């Protein structure tokens, strides 16, 4: 039943979201209107072509002045909240589905969603991956290629696989 639902989504909403709205020929204002019409809470029209969304548009929230570069991948199986004035490099990825280990040691074939929250003024480098259940504080920089497996609770630069704090930063608030 779940596989049928996934296939139906891909042929309908998925085709509109990823094929039409994500197209390079779609003007940004129309892309924004389409995302909103499908239930996303998107407050920024600065989303470049190639965005791929696999999950419920109702689970997606993107703050004002946030920029998503080309070919980013979002999987809002569980809620994804991206704050204001964030910057995402090309092919950055946010995944919310998790397959837990069962009591017998096997991995469940049924995905569970774990929400991802990203604060304000966060920079996410090219091809960085943010995994299920992660919370990222305001004013964090995620280095290109980093894999974020745990929360990033303080302002600073996180890099590596898995990502870890490599430098704290001080933030001047206006």
Q: Considering 99, 150, 154, 160, which one is annotated as catalytic? A: 99
What angle (nearest 5°) sits at the alpha carbon of residue 85, between those of residues 158 and 87? 50
* Contact predicate 124/87, CB 8 Å: yes
Residue 127: left (phi > 0), alpha (psi -120 to 50), or beta? left
For residue 41, give the nearest of 23, 56, 63 by alpha carbon.
63
- The torsion angles phi and psi of 42, rounded to 5 degrees, stand at -105, 120
Entry field: residues in the chain: 174
Is 98 catalytic? The answer is no
Catalytically active residues are 99
């Amino acid at each position: 039943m779940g596989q049928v639902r996934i296939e139906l989504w891909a042929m309908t909403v998925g085709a509109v979201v990823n094929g039409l709205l994500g197209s390079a020929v779609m003007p940004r204002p129309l892309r924004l209107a389409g995302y909103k019409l499908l239930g996303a809470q998107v407050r920024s029209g600065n989303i470049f072509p190639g965005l791929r969304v696999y999950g419920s548009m109702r689970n997606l929230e993107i703050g004002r002045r946030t920029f998503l570069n080309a070919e980013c991948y979002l999987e809002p199986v569980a809620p994804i909240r991206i704050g204001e004035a964030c910057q995402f490099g090309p092919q950055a990825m946010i995944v919310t589905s998790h397959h837990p280990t069962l009591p017998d040691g096997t991995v469940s074939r049924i995905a569970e969603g774990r929400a991802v929250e990203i604060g304000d003024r966060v920079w996410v480098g090219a091809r960085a991956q943010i995994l299920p259940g992660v919370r990222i504080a305001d004013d964090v920089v995620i280095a290109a290629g980093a894999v974020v497996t745990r929360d990033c609770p303080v302002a600073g630069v996180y890099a590596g696989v898995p990502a870890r704090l490599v430098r704290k930063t001080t933030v001047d608030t206006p």
